[in-house]
Amino acid sequence: MKNKNKLSSQIDFDKNIPLEKKISDPDVVSVLFHEKKQMILRILIHEEKNIMDLKKELKMNPGTIKRHLDDLRGKKLVAEPRIVINKYGIKEKYYHTTAKRFIVHLEWP
Amino acid sequence: MNKKGSKKHSYIHEALVDIRLSWRLYKSNFKVFLGAQIISILVYTFLLFPWELILMFFFGIDFNYNITLLLNIRSLIGGFLISIFFGSSFGLSYDIMSGGDQFTELRGFFHYFKQYWWQYILLSLLLVSGTFLSSFIYGLFFSGPIEDALYVLFLNITIIIIYKVLMYFWITIILQTFPSLTSQGSIKNALHENFKLLRVNSKRILSSLLLFFLIFNFSWTLLQILDLSMRILAVEMRWVWYQNFIQSYSIIFPLIQFLAQTIFIFLLAIPMLALVSTRIYNSLKMGDNKVEE
């Protein structure tokens, strides 16, 4: 049952997210090259996850992950989380990227 | 199984889910609860422990000021602070269960401290007011001189049990106000919602908190009764070896008991109570009384 729900949520996730997004703002580009944020994005680009899932995979403090996610949301690299109330009455926020692929487009000067 | 039996089974199942889930979330947020409760323990020990009496008794240090007055003032301030810390643990539990990220941070503890300090004091006063009744009962039983040690033991055990049962019912009646306060933001609405929830879901709340009390409170009570029984029986039955054993550790025993009780209550029972209560509140709010695995 759990796998079935996970599969249907994954299908929705794949369907609703744009395939690619161009980034030309240097501030956003610099965020993309931050090591920890990159690690988070690499996971969220494939599948939506909550902070506790990310904690298990990245072995990072959940508070640190939360702050990285807030930064990524501020730069529109991560979307507003999907909120689910699970069968135990606990609210869960699932995070995902705003695109399946980010293309960096920079012109200088 | 008939409908009544199945409903009874559902309450037991719910109570087990409450404890299991709260334990899982307690473990995953242990560091934050540890930090918050260490602050509480330090304040409790510093303000409520009668340091002056210990120093006077063991080291003969004489204090020039009125110790009783100082202890009373310290107890009052300490009691208020502990009440706020107790309430803030419910705020942390609310963050974990309703914040969406299933975790909380220590700064949340100070946030709730600042936001709801006077509401927590009022609610805690309401919560402890039930214990006054049991003190009154104690006074009634021990109003005259009692010679028979076994009768004293019987009375003590009866009073401890009555006290614990009254405490359980009283806490059950008031407790849902704490998570409701964080959710509603107003003490008036929280009290109103608490009684509304209690009226409709009394069996669910009673059964879940009964399991909590059996694990975290009555287990401790059994130890208290055992200790008391051994002490009185040792006098009555002339167990010299046991009396010598107790006397030789008369200084260490109360200290160990104080430390063990403080650590158990602050580090385990209070965070678990806050989590269990918030879980009950959330599940009742979402109208989910039949949780399935």
Q: Which residue of A has its CA nearest to B104?
A: A63
**What pTM value is reported for the model?**
0.82
| A90 has a chain B CB within 8 A of its CB | yes
B interface test, pick of A51, A61, A64, A88 with most B CB neighbours within 10 Å: A88
Report ipTM for this prediction.
Answer: 0.76
The reported pLDDT for the residue numbered A19 is 84
Distance, in Å, from the CA atom of B21 to the CA atom of B24, rounded to the nearest integer, reads: 5
Q: What share of chain B is helix, strand, coil (3-state, %, to 5)?
A: 85, 0, 15
Question: Do A48 and A5 contact (CB within 8 A), yes or no?
Answer: no
H helices of chain A, in order, are: 2-16, 26-32, 35-44, 51-58, 62-74
Position B29 scores a pLDDT of 92
Q: How many residue pairs from chains A and B have C-beta atoms closer than 8 A?
A: 48
B277 min Cα distance to partner chain A (Å): 12
Q: Note whether B102 contacts A: Cβ–Cβ < 8 A.
A: yes
Question: Which contiguous run of DSSP H or E holds residue B50?
Answer: none
Instruction: Encode pLDDT of A52-105 as tens digits.
Output: 999 999 999 999 999 999 999 999 999 989 998 888 878 899 999 999 899 988
Q: Which of residues 237-266 of B touch A (CB under 8 A)?
A: none
Confidence of residue B293 (pLDDT cuts 50, 70, 90): very low
Structure tokens at B144: 């005259």
For chain B, percent of residues with pLDDT exceeding 70: 86
pLDDT for residue B288 is more than 50 = no
* The pair of three-digit structure tokens given for residue B142, joined into one six-digit string: 């021990």
**Could you read off the pLDDT of B41-82 as tens digits, one per residue?**
888 788 877 777 777 777 777 766 677 788 888 888 988 999
pLDDT, tens digit, for every residue of B98-118? 888 989 999 999 999 999 999
What is the average per-residue pLDDT within B225-240?
Answer: 78
Instruction: List CB contacts (< 8 A) between A93 and chain B.
Output: 100-101
Q: Which of B14, B92, B96, B103 is the best residue to mutate to test the A interface, defined by the most A CB atoms within 10 Å of its own CB?
A: B103
Judge whether B292 is closer than 8 Å to chain A, CB to CB: yes
Q: Quickly state the pLDDT bin for B143 (edges 50, 70, 90).
A: low
Confirm if B87 and B119 have CB atoms less than 8 A apart: yes
Give B-chain residues touching A51 at CB under 8 angstroms: 101-103
Q: What is the mean pLDDT of chain B?
A: 83
Answer whether A95's CB lies under 8 Å from A44's CB: yes
Q: For residues A50 and B81, give the distance between their C-alpha atoms in angstroms, rounded to a whole number.
A: 35
User: For the segment B160-172, what is each residue's pLDDT rounded down to a tens digit?
Assistant: 888 888 888 989 9
Q: Which residues, including other chains, have CB under 8 Å from residue B186's CB and lie 6 or more apart? A: none
- Helix or strand or coil: residue A72? helix
CB spacing of B291 vs A88 below 8 angstroms:
yes
A89 and B286 in contact by Cβ < 8 A? yes
Is the Cβ of B66 closer than 8 Å to some Cβ of chain A?
no
Name the closest residue on chain A to residue B290, using Cα atoms. Answer: A87
Per-residue pLDDT, B291: 38
Give the pLDDT mean for B6-33.
88
